[in-house]
Structure formats: structure tokens, C-alpha cells
Amino acid sequence: MKIFPFKHGGVFDDAVGLVFEEAGVEDMDHYVVEMFESITESGKLNSEADKSIATAIKAKYGSKATWHLERHLIPVPELHFESRELPQIRIEVSVYLMAQALVKTQQNSRWITLVGAIGKAETVVVPIIFIHALMEDDLSRFAILAKDANYTTWEVPGAKPVRIPNIFTDELEVVLGWQSVTSWLSLFGAQGKCIAPLVAGSLFGLSFQELAEPVSAAEQPVTTESLVSALEGLAFPAAEAKELVRRAAPRLRADRFAASVLIPPDYFLSRAQAAGCDLVSLGEQLELSHQSLLIALGEHFHDIQLVGALYEFEPPPIVGSGAELKDYKANIVVKTGPARHVKQLCALQKVPTRKSHPVIGSLVCAAIAGNAPLLWRSSRIEEAPVVFVRPLFSIAQTPYRVLLLAVPREEFSLISAQVERLEPLEIDGDCICPSQNKCRVNQACPWRNGGLL
């Protein structure tokens, strides 16, 4: 509990402003407080507030100090988006005390302001399908398991029941009647804007699954235009839908929606691990493109240091012509959160940037020149990742696509099934390029000049 010289906060709106400043959420709209007011009505919480005030004042002004005060309890929400099991918004609601007190001691009296969090944060979980039901005016699809004056416990198919404040549900239902979900989330400031694309994507997935005929994912016409159209169908104004897609790109591109929204996480994780993250095998099983599957690896293995890239051979393949490095471009590059600062995978392979070409002398260069998959792992550098590069071949036996995956040494089991099946050429500290007999690049290749491994 912090004690400040007197600050004007007698009006409730002023009190909210002081609390938001202390909590570091000055950009949050004061309206959101109303959605969580019932959380502050606990008798236990009010008792803790009185004790906190007494402890703070006596610690600073002595045990004989007396006071008169006016206080407010202000709920401050913190939003998180989760998609591991069921897409949902998890809201951690902390309650802050803001009090103005006239403190009297034997020497003098003074006005002070006290601000600080009290009690334990309360968690409110709101499944995205619950928000979708509110938008469709169809809450009846959820059975009510328990209800009192402040809370209702709802049964959620395929997940644990959720206990949601009644005032939150009522206010959200009213808000969604006249504005979009992203507009509502923007009231929460930066944190709401951060998760808005993910929430919109999940809502789009739900709408898509309900409205579309059951066709294979490979045949579903998910494009940027259809995404904007779908968002408009969910009551987003046209300009707002276009701006959301533009601002969130490339997170909202069609492949990312297919990967992160339409693939059930547990199902994808089990299939990916069984296949050794083999995008070719997964593509055949799930009827999804290699691009969307690579994105899905980054989405669903977000807690490990994973780097992935997909190079495309852009000129039309011509039988017998061979391929040049400049003809390949990294159209998809995936880096998980733990890998966001990684720039170099090994001495011969940098982390590619999107739209870049393979570097002469890199592992990708060697795989293209040798028309064979490569596996690099060091027996000397323990912290070095395992790097797997796999070319995919056209009828003319020209690599039309090259896949790169890098995982930590301790996570090698993620790709081990694919490695055992393909038996790539393993490189461990060799100074001779494994593809030197087939290489057509110029003398600038570092492997030709002594090697860098």
C-alpha cells in the first residue's frame, strides 16, 4: 500500500484514474470497471481493505493516529488469450484500494491518499464460443449449472464449467449489440488491442465451421477477401474489418487462420510428433499446405526455440536446366517466442529473413546443390541447435521447395521420426562441403575456401 500526499480523487472517476495510473494501465477506458464491479462486493475483501488501511497508517504515523476516510475498491482487469485446449480469454482481475484519509496525530493533521492492490486476483475465463453465442443471441446452448445474485456457472461442452460475473455477461451482451468485439477489446487499451486479432480469428473460425459445407481444408477458399467478408458478417464495419486485417498482417493471412484456428491443437500436436514434424506427411494426412503446416508448428510448439523456413523455387521448372540460388526465396519464416532473438543457427546457416535468397555456402545451398537432405548437429557445441534441411523434388528432379527446421538439441525427438525415415547426410564439423562435386556456385563459397564448420 502506497501513501501519497493528498490527490484529488473524491469523485469515482478520479479514483479510477489514480488506480489505473498506479497499475500502469492509463490507456484503459474507465467503462471496463463497471463490468467487474461485483468482484469488489465481497465482505472478505472489504475487511481486508480496512485492515490494509489501518496497517499502512499506523506504520507511518504511529499507533495512536486516528483517521476519517472515504475509500473506493476498483477492479483492474488484465487480459490473456489462450488456445491450448479451447480458445478463450482469461481475465485476471486485481482489486485496488484508493482511499483519501484525514489523519490526526498528537502534533498535527493532514490529508493523504492511499493506493494499492489488496486481496488475491480473481480469474474470469470467457470461452470464445461463449462470446460467439452472445453475438448470435444464443446463450441457451449453454446449460446453467449454478446461479446466484452475482455469478452464473455455465457448462461448456468439451471444457471445464466457467463461472462468470452476471454483470460482465449483461454488459457484454449490450456492448456487442452496437459495436464489434474488437471495438470492445480496444476499451482495455494496449492489452485488448494485442489479443484482438486472435479473438477475431477464433470467431472467424467458429463462423466458418458453422456456415461452410464440410469440405477438405485444402479446398476451403480462405483468402484475405473472404476473411474481411466473414468479419463483416460478424457485425464488423467494413472499414474496421479491412483495417484489422491490414494491421494484423501477416498474423491474419489465410494460412495462419487455417493453421491456428481450424486445426484442433491436441490433434495437431499428436500428429506432428508422430510424423517427426514431417510437413509432407502431415500435408497428406490433414490436407493442408506445407505453408500452413509450418506456421502451425510455430503456433503450437510456441514454448520451445523453434525456427522454420520454406523456400520456393519461383521460376517455372524447366527439365534439365537446374536451379540457381537466386531462384529460391524464403516465402515463409517462422520463429517462436523463445527464438525471436536468434540470428545464427550455426556457422554456415543464418536464420533467413522473409523474401531472402539462400546464402552461398549455407546448409540450404548445400542441400539444393546436392539434391539431398542434410542434418547438421555439433558434437562439440552443446547449446547449438539441430538443423535439418530437406529439398522437395519436381518430376524433373529439381528442388521446387526447400524446408528448414531448427530445434534445440534436447528437443531432437520432435524431428527424429522424419530423420530416421529420410536418412539425411549428417554433418558434424566437416570442412568439406558434402555437395562440392555437384556444386555450380562461384569460388566465393566459404566451404571452398577452408570451411567454417
**What does the pLDDT look like over 129-149, one tens digit per residue?**
999 888 888 888 899 999 998
CA 272 to CA 38: how far, in whole Å? 44
* pLDDT tens digits, one per residue of 11-40: 778 889 899 998 999 899 998 999 998 898
d(CA 198, CA 240): 15
Q: How confident is the model at residue 225 (pLDDT cuts 50, 70, 90)?
A: low
* Other CB atoms within 10 A of residue 9 CB: 21
| pLDDT value of position 266 | 78
Long-range CB pairs of 101-106, under 8 A, 24+ apart, other chains included? 101/53, 101/57, 101/67, 101/68, 101/69, 102/67, 102/68, 102/69, 103/57, 103/61, 103/65, 103/66, 103/67, 104/65, 104/66, 104/67, 105/61, 105/62, 105/64, 105/65, 106/64
Give me the percent of the chain exceeding a pLDDT of 70: 79
Exposure of 193 in the CB half-sphere (CA atoms within 13 A): 13
Quick one: which of 222, 224, 206 has its CA closest to 86? 206
What is the tens place of the pLDDT at every residue in 239-285?
766 766 665 444 444 444 555 445 667 788 889 999 999 999 988 88
Tens digit of each residue's pLDDT (9 = 90 or more) over 179-204: 778 889 989 999 998 898 888 888 87
Confidence at residue 320, expressed as pLDDT on a 0 to 100 scale: 47
- Please give the pLDDT value at position 80: 93
Task: Report pLDDT digits (tens) over 76-100.
Answer: 999 999 887 788 999 999 999 999 8
Q: Are 117 and 95 in contact (CB under 8 A)?
A: yes
Domains annotated on the chain, with CATH: 2-178 (no CATH), 265-453 (3.30.450)
Q: How many residues in total does the chain contain?
A: 453
Q: For the chain, how big is the Rg over CA atoms in Å?
A: 29
Distance CA(160)–CA(232), nearest Å, equals 31
Cis, peptide link before residue 250, omega less than 30° from 0? yes
More confident residue, 153 or 211: 153
pLDDT digits (tens, 9 = 90+) for 325-352: 888 988 888 888 788 788 899 888 899 8
- 3-class DSSP string for 100-138: EEEEECCCCEEEEEEEEEEEEEEEEEEEHHHHHHHHCCC
Spatial separation of the C-alpha atoms in residues 276 and 386, rounded to whole Å: 13
Q: What is the mean pLDDT of the chain?
A: 81
